[in-house]
Structure 1
């Protein structure tokens, strides 16, 4: 699961030689006002929110957003089409051939995991992963409205230089050139969800893999509930069902393996971008599995970890010397 891109206007920086980080009275900063990035609302939608256009200086291109999310609908549409194809194929071609008891039970199982999968998937797509504006040092908050995020989105060289300066960086954050913002506890850019996976949507990403694996497995299991076995499926159904079976099986194996990999990374208390840097000698602090899970799923009941609801509210605050420390991700690779 991997990738994303850039944004607008010129910030004017004054006296940045003396800028330092000031969290928990640790350091003193001296900073003057920085120019914001400009954007405009192109269309308004009652369900999806405003459609934003942002022009990149010195480049003949524009970037578009739905609130904080950069509008890249290609992969979500592809995922929906795959789900529709496999689900319709199952109920049209496989379901009528199944044992009676399977026809009673399987629809509930399939629909149950489909609902959980879609809730988790679109949570990972649409949720703010923990974006912070490039000029975070001015306000030092850990929750921003989409308007504040877009106004603090780095799109020029001077803004990037300001954001990647170590004294200006928030704790536990990586700066993404492609997103133009910091990402809290950045893990990786996921191509399947067209979004960063960070502190605020990591739980949804994990559950997406888990419930997507169960959903795909429930469709695969349907082939083995056919009376007489899968080989008894009518030859006229082979054209739609054979590709569907291959897709379902490959997705089940891939999603379960990704879920297992995520658990291993949490056990070792590392994000994927840290994993890529381990060859450079970066070390992580050893903590318990429960503490690692609380880093991405919140400190509530363990039962809540299985529900694709937001893990953190607006009161979330990150501290220095954390369990996980991320460095600027300057290449987004």
Structure 2
């Protein structure tokens, strides 16, 4: 018997729940190291100079502002449904399949285990418009994929992320990107803010720098934030290229993206299909109502294509 790795996918849900605790623990360590152990004492210290006070205020204000945005975006990703296939949804059919598939579309209900006609089963995977998920027992919209961890089809699925205990798809991809963006800014700020204390940790410049607990938190906070800043930067660069080409991680992995990728409408329109057209909403995990009405791609069911480019659907 072949070993099926997907049998263990449900275990990733438990891992994901643990990862939320890990994220909050890293935030707590960083908060203690920057605010409590370092810059509050610098701000309130009796020997603090004007320069020290201004620097401490600037670091504390930026730290709390970025932390607020980071947590807002993070929990938006965690709590927002990435998008699932509506029960009544059915695709536009080719004429040669319409007579056979349309009656099926009206009969299929999730979980009923309806057997597909043999001719349709063999036709669907190779048809550019009609796709069917045998696990969920319903038709699949364009760019939709089945997640073995969530156990359902996800609209414009990018990947399943254990860090957010959720899939990243059409309706929370922007929130995920903003989470990466604010995480990079926050971890970079913490790294730079703790760098002088980290250097002093090894040079013994500050003999009365604090208790062993504060020193340990400062050391750990610097190392963790430096590591996350470097790793998140790589993810940001990768996803920036995906947004610019209007593709997902799955589509890039399956090597379906090329110079003639049919969803690539130009960088500006590609960007708007993720972040919307209203500039005032680009940096917050929300969409303008006007964008939700005007841009169907934000809902994950219908995507404009280049008129002169074909290609197989994923």
Q: TM-score range by the shorter chain?
A: 0.5 to 0.7
* Aligned mates of 1:112, 1:275 — CA distance in 2: 34
TM-score by length of 2: 0.66
* Aligned mates of 1:279, 1:292 — CA distance in 2: 17
**CA shift at 1:137, angstroms?**
3.7
The secondary structure found in structure 1 opposite 2:146 is: strand
* Aligned mates of 1:188, 1:304 — CA distance in 2: 24
**CA shift at 1:177, angstroms?**
3.3
Q: Is the 8 A contact 1:136 1:169 kept in 2?
A: no
**CA shift at 1:198, angstroms?**
0.8
Q: Is the 8 A contact 1:153 1:181 kept in 2?
A: no
Matched, 1:132 2:103: no
Q: How does 1:139-158 map to 2 (within 5 A)?
A: none
Cα distance, 1:208–1:282 mapped onto 2, change above 3 Å:
same
**Match for 2:154 among 159, 171, 183?**
183
Matched, 1:238 2:191: no
- Matched with 2:21 is 77
Q: Is the 8 A contact 2:168 2:176 kept in 1?
A: yes
Cα distance, 1:181–1:282 mapped onto 2, change above 3 Å:
farther
Q: Is the 8 A contact 1:136 1:168 kept in 2?
A: no
Q: Is the 8 A contact 1:200 1:310 kept in 2?
A: no
**CA shift at 1:253, angstroms?**
1.6
**CA shift at 1:275, angstroms?**
0.9
The secondary structure found in structure 1 opposite 2:282 is: helix
Q: Is the 8 A contact 2:174 2:285 kept in 1?
A: yes
**CA shift at 1:281, angstroms?**
7.9
- Matched with 1:306 is 283
Q: Is the 8 A contact 1:117 1:211 kept in 2?
A: yes
More helix by share: 2
Once the two structures are superposed, what CA deviation does each residue of 1:267-290 show, in whole Å capped at 9, x if it has no partner?
A: 122110011111798962332111
Q: How does 1:244-263 map to 2 (within 5 A)?
A: 244-263=221-240
Q: How does 1:1-333 map to 2 (within 5 A)?
A: 73-95=17-39, 96-97=41-42, 99-133=52-86, 135-137=87-89, 163-164=133-134, 168-224=139-195, 231=203, 232-233=205-206, 234=209, 236=212, 237-278=214-255, 284-285=261-262, 286-299=264-277, 301-310=278-287, 316=296, 318-319=301-302, 322=305
Q: Is the 8 A contact 1:153 1:180 kept in 2?
A: no
Once the two structures are superposed, what CA deviation does each residue of 1:222-272 show, in whole Å capped at 9, x if it has no partner?
A: 12466x967435374432211111001111122222122111111122110
Q: Is the 8 A contact 2:146 2:154 kept in 1?
A: yes
**CA shift at 1:184, angstroms?**
1.6
TM-score by length of 1: 0.62
**CA shift at 1:314, angstroms?**
7.0
Moved more, 199-208 or 179-188: 179-188
Unaligned runs of 5+ in 2: 1-5, 44-51, 93-108, 122-131
Unaligned runs of 5+ in 1: 7-61, 64-68, 141-151, 329-333
**CA shift at 1:156, angstroms?**
7.2
Cα distance, 1:311–1:271 mapped onto 2, change above 3 Å:
farther
* Aligned mates of 2:165, 2:216 — CA distance in 1: 31
**CA shift at 1:322, angstroms?**
3.7
The secondary structure found in structure 2 opposite 1:192 is: coil
**CA shift at 1:72, angstroms?**
5.0
* Aligned mates of 2:312, 2:88 — CA distance in 1: 16
* Aligned mates of 1:117, 1:326 — CA distance in 2: 38
**CA shift at 1:121, angstroms?**
0.6
